[in-house]
């Protein structure tokens, strides 16, 4: 998408441009505020590209601030993975990494200020009662019997909360707003709750923690954030965001803007749900190449620029959306089409014997690493009397829809000769074990006039191979919008990984600097790891559309 179109679909840019023009701000300051309770997914990439992208475009800054107000769900592993993913995506945060927990002292003082001004109270109702008293969208809430305690009593109780006098759930600090507000968030929201759990940053200093709503707006203001951008589910929370900042004595004032979350077909974008897939061993980990996490996409072979391009294309609006997986795939396809060297791989080998060649025949052919980019150079491949082709490229009988090697017919081997299948050998189970062919030595790099061949297929010499495992990935779910399902686990695609054992060119990983290849006629693959120093494992990034094999 052209930059101009992108501009039309990013309404936050209009807001920023207006604010700059009207001199409401001179330098924009954004932040990306992940909760370190899981690995980042592509939805977060949207937020990262937006926040860091705006800062870059308007010469401002973007903070990375961990929203670490719930120690029970957070840990250092998540913090490190998040930092790593942001760097990998190509962004740099302003100065040091920040944590909401850096402001716990200040936030605590603001809580005291609210109590002193009669705007917050310690509630001793239990969680169940609080829920009941809160009412519903149709029914107004009821005031807690503790709502009108004296300021002194509240100060004392809050101190006791801080000093560990109460156990979890026995007390909480609530803002005194309006139990009849049409916005449930404004019905005396909880500002502090008791959690006895060691915090990864503040260790055992605190046993009370501010809620997201209380900590977030204050952290934004303390950091001088100009545009606090979040997703639409926080739209109602904006009232509370503004209420808190208006009621406390704080120099700076930040504003919140909401945009719609990214949803992608056939996957889920929620750390909590992705964690379930990891915990239940439905995937091999957060970086399983089927996962929509940034680490999963990276292992799958996605490049940072393909993800940034994708985020540019989807734009930033307030409309609900479910983006097609093919849009993400097209971004990586365009990237790889230009940049990935070509190579040959056989996923399901079947042997070809060239009967009019001696067994010790060896010819070295120079083949291009990229058909349209001579600067990518050439590599040598062997042509010998024993070759492998893919089983799916051979047909005993002629069919209209397939362009493969057919018994009695000719085919061209990519960058090589025309061969003709003459005979097949089968084992006792009737599986083909060998196809006997003859080759035409006049056809290297030449195509005799009026000679029709069925197509061009890829191949490997049996003397020039390295064993390889190919992980063929497919979508994780078999329904378009698993996010909407209560029992999303029922819709897992049980065939999201198919493993094939075959071969790649012997020198593939040594002669090329790349880790990513287009295996001709099959798809784009990314080298994953090596097993026993010999077997190379490749992850399929995306397949090519190979219904039509062009003649060459
Ligand atoms: P999750 O439900 O996956 O945990 P979250 O919103 O709770 O998501 P946070 O760590 O709080 O995760 O998110 C950090 C930032 O990323 C927030 O500003 C949030 O609004 C944004 N974000 C999260 N998910 C998406 C998404 N799917 N699309 C766009 N932005 C997102
Ligand atoms: Mg969250």
Assign residue 58 the CATH number of its domain: 3.40.50.620
Question: Is 271 one of the annotated active-site residues of the chain?
Answer: yes
Question: Is 261 one of the annotated active-site residues of the chain?
Answer: yes
d(CA 141, CA 64) in angstroms, rounded, equals 37
d(CA 197, CA 183) in angstroms, rounded, equals 31
Which residue do the tokens 């790593």 mark?
84
> What is the full DSSP assignment across 284-352?
SSTT-TTS-BHHHHHHHT--HHHHHHHHHHH-B-SS---B-HHHHHHHHHHHHHHHPPEE-EESSEEEE
Secondary structure of 55-95 in HEC code, one letter for each residue: HHHCCCEEEEEECCCCHHHCCHHHHHHHHHHHHHCCCCCCC
Which residue do the tokens 């965001």 mark?
241
Question: Based on the domain organization, do 503 and 394 belong to the same domain?
Answer: yes
* Inter-CA distances, 365 with 246, 383, 445, 531, Å: 75, 7, 11, 29
What's the gap in Å between 167 CA and the centre of ligand 2?
A: 25
Backbone dihedral angles phi then psi of residue 75, each to the nearest 5 degrees: -160, 170
The reply to whether ligand 1 has any atom less than 6 angstroms from the CB of 34 is yes
Question: Based on the domain organization, do 170 and 240 belong to the same domain?
Answer: no
pLDDT at 447: 84
Strand 363-368 relative to strand 120-123, pairing? unpaired
pLDDT at 546: 42
Consecutive 10-residue averages of pLDDT for the chain (552 residues): 52 95 95 97 98 97 98 97 98 98 98 98 97 96 98 98 97 98 98 98 98 98 97 96 97 92 96 96 97 98 96 93 94 93 97 97 96 92 98 86 87 96 95 96 88 91 96 96 94 97 90 84 94 92 64 36
What's the gap in Å between 371 CA and the centre of ligand 1?
A: 42
Does 295 reside within a domain?
Answer: yes
Nearest protein CA to atom 18 of ligand 1, as residue: 230
Long-range own/partner contacts, residues 357-362 (CB < 8 A, 24 or more apart): 357/384, 357/385, 357/439, 358/385, 359/385, 361/385, 362/463
Question: Based on the domain organization, do 205 and 217 belong to the same domain?
Answer: no
pLDDT at 513: 67
| Domain boundary residue, one of 212, 233, 254 | 212
Question: Based on the domain organization, do 377 and 453 belong to the same domain?
Answer: yes
d(CA 282, CA 497) in angstroms, rounded, equals 11
Ligand nearest to the CA of 314: 1
Question: Based on the domain organization, do 348 and 370 belong to the same domain?
Answer: yes
Question: Based on the domain organization, do 139 and 31 belong to the same domain?
Answer: no
Backbone dihedral angles phi then psi of residue 393, each to the nearest 5 degrees: -95, 5
| Domain boundary residue, one of 191, 212, 233 | 212
Question: Based on the domain organization, do 394 and 450 belong to the same domain?
Answer: yes
CB atoms within 10 A of CB 65: 22
What's the gap in Å between 284 CA and the centre of ligand 1?
A: 23
pLDDT at 7: 43
Backbone dihedral angles phi then psi of residue 17, each to the nearest 5 degrees: -60, -40
Structure tokens that stand for 288 in this block: 């399983």
The reply to whether ligand 1 has any atom less than 6 angstroms from the CB of 339 is no
**Cβ-Cβ contacts under 8 Å for 517 (sequence gap 6 or more):** 340, 341, 342, 343, 345, 508, 524, 525, 527, 538
Does 333 reside within a domain?
Answer: no
Does 177 reside within a domain?
Answer: yes
Question: Based on the domain organization, do 176 and 88 belong to the same domain?
Answer: no
Structure tokens that stand for 33 in this block: 């505020």
The reply to whether ligand 1 has any atom less than 6 angstroms from the CB of 261 is yes
Question: Based on the domain organization, do 135 and 276 belong to the same domain?
Answer: no
pTM of the model: 0.93
Neighbour-count burial for 405-420, b at 16+ CB within 10 Å, e otherwise: bbbeebbbbbbbbbbb
pLDDT at 464: 93
| Domain boundary residue, one of 157, 192, 212 | 212
Does 334 reside within a domain?
Answer: no
Radius of gyration of the chain measured on its C-alpha atoms:
31
183: CATH: 3.90.800.10
User: How many separate domains does the chain show?
Assistant: 3
Long-range own/partner contacts, residues 201-206 (CB < 8 A, 24 or more apart): 201/68, 201/99, 201/101, 201/102, 202/101, 202/104, 205/104, 206/104, 206/162
Q: Exposed, middle or buried: residue 215 (CB in 10 Å: 0-12, 13-18, 19+)?
A: buried
Question: Based on the domain organization, do 416 and 530 belong to the same domain?
Answer: yes
Question: What is the best residue among 31, 38, 47, 215 to mutate for testing ligand 1's pocket, by most ligand atoms within 8 Å of CB?
Answer: 47
Domain of residue 51: give its range: 3-99+213-326
Nearest protein CA to atom 17 of ligand 1, as residue: 230
Question: Based on the domain organization, do 242 and 312 belong to the same domain?
Answer: yes
d(CA 404, CA 417) in angstroms, rounded, equals 15
Residue 81 falls in which region: left (phi positive, over 0), alpha (psi -120 to 50) or beta: alpha
d(CA 185, CA 182) in angstroms, rounded, equals 9
The angle that helices 42-57 and 11-21 make with each other, rounded to 10 degrees, is 20
Does 332 reside within a domain?
Answer: no
Residues with a beta carbon under 5 angstroms from ion ligand 2: 35
Question: Is 132 one of the annotated active-site residues of the chain?
Answer: no
Does 414 reside within a domain?
Answer: yes
Does 411 reside within a domain?
Answer: yes
Structure tokens that stand for 314 in this block: 């989807």
Nearest protein CA to atom 9 of ligand 1, as residue: 34
**Cβ-Cβ contacts under 8 Å for 489 (sequence gap 6 or more):** 276, 280, 282
Structure tokens that stand for 208 in this block: 């009370």
Question: Based on the domain organization, do 27 and 39 belong to the same domain?
Answer: yes
């Amino acid at each position: 998408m052209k930059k101009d179109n992108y501009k039309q679909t990013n309404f936050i840019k209009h807001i920023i441009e207006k604010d700059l023009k009207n001199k409401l701000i001179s330098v924009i300051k954004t932040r990306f505020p992940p909760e370190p309770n899981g690995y980042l997914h592509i939805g977060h990439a949207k937020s990262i590209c937006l926040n860091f992208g705006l800062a870059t475009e308007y010469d401002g800054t973007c903070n990375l601030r961990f929203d670490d107000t719930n120690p029970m769900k957070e840990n250092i592993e998540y913090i490190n993975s998040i930092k790593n993913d942001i760097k990998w995506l190509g962004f740099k945060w302003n100065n040091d990494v920040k944590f909401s927990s850096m402001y716990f002292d200040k936030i605590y003082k603001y809580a005291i200020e609210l109590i002193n001004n009669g705007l917050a109270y310690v509630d001793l109702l239990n969680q169940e009662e609080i829920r009941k008293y809160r009412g519903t969208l149709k029914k107004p809430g009821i005031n807690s019997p503790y709502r009108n305690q004296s300021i002194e009593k509240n100060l004392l109780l809050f101190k006791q909360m801080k000093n560990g006098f109460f156990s979890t759930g026995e007390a909480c600090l609530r803002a005194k707003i309006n139990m009849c507000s049409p916005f449930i968030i404004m019905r005396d929201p909880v500002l502090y709750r008791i959690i006895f759990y060691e915090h990864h940053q503040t260790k055992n200093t605190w046993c009370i923690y501010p809620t997201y709503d209380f900590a977030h707006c204050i952290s934004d203001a303390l950091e001088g954030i100009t545009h606090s951008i979040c997703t639409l589910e926080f739209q109602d929370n904006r009232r509370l965001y503004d209420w808190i900042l208006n009621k406390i004595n704080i120099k700076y004032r930040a504003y919140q803007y909401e945009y719609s979350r990214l949803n992608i077909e056939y996957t889920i974008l929620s750390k909590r749900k992705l964690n379930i897939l990891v915990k239940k061993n439905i995937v091999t980990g957060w970086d399983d190449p089927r996962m929509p996490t940034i680490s999963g996409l990276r292992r799958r072979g996605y490049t940072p620029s393909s993800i940034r391009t994708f985020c540019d294309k989807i734009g930033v609006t307030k409309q609900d959306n479910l983006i097609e997986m093919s849009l993400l795939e097209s971004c990586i396809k365009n990237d790889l089409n230009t940049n990935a060297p070509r190579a040959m791989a056989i996923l399901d080998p079947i042997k070809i014997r060239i009967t009019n060649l001696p067994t010790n025949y060896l010819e070295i052919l120079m083949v291009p690493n990229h058909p349209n980019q001579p600067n990518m150079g050439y590599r040598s491949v062997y042509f010998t009397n024993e070759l492998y082709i893919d089983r799916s490229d051979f047909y005993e009988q002629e069919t209209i829809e397939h362009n493969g090697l057919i018994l009695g017919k000719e085919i061209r081997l990519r960058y090589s000769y025309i061969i003709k299948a003459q005979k097949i050998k089968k084992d006792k189970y009737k599986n083909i074990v060998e196809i006997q062919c003859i080759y035409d030595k006049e056809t290297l790099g030449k195509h005799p006039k009026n000679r029709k061949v069925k197509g061009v297929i890829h191949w490997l010499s049996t003397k020039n191979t390295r064993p390889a495992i190919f992980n063929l990935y497919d979508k994780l779910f078999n329904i378009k919008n698993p996010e909407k399902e209560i029992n999303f686990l029922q819709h897992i695609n049980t065939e999201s990984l198919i493993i094939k054992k075959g071969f790649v060119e012997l020198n593939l990983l040594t002669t090329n600097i790349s880790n990513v290849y287009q295996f001709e006629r099959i798809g784009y693959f990314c080298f994953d790891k090596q097993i026993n120093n010999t077997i190379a494992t490749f992850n399929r990034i995306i397949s090519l559309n190979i219904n039509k094999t062009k003649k060459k």
